[in-house]
Amino acid sequence: MEVNGIAHIFLTASNFERSREFYRKLLRFLGPKPDELHGFLCSLGVTIIRAPREDQWAPGYYSLPFEDPDGIRLELNHVPGKGLLS
């Protein structure tokens, strides 16, 4: 999924090495198609908060909330084109 902005980030890590490894894998993955994201996250063994879905925010908007190894909730979103904030 193409990154066109970041809304907000606040992270803590109880195990730096484990978190660093997780985020290295996750951030390298950003770029593939949204439907591939769910499978990738499942391969990492993360907790998926809810199934991926298109939401009402914009046509083609896609979101997938999940947890990092410390249980911090993250959500990756895809807005086709340049997004709403450009």
Phi-psi region of 46 (alpha: psi -120 to 50; beta: other; left: phi over 0): beta
Q: What is the mean pLDDT of residues 65-72?
A: 91
pLDDT of residue 15: 93
- 9-22, pLDDT tens digit by residue? 777 889 999 999 99
Rounded to the nearest 10 degrees, the angle between the axes of helix 16-29 and helix 34-44 is 160
- What's residue 18's pLDDT? 93
Q: How many CA atoms lie within 13 A of 23 on its CB side?
A: 13
pTM above 0.85, yes or no: no
For 1-57, what is each residue's pLDDT tens digit?
555 556 667 778 899 999 999 988 888 877 656 688 888 899 999 999 998 887 777
Looking at domain 16-78, which of 3.90.79.10, 3.30.750.24, 1.10.10.10, 3.10.180.10 is its CATH number?
A: 3.10.180.10
Q: What angle do CA 6, 4, 50 make, to 5 degrees?
A: 65
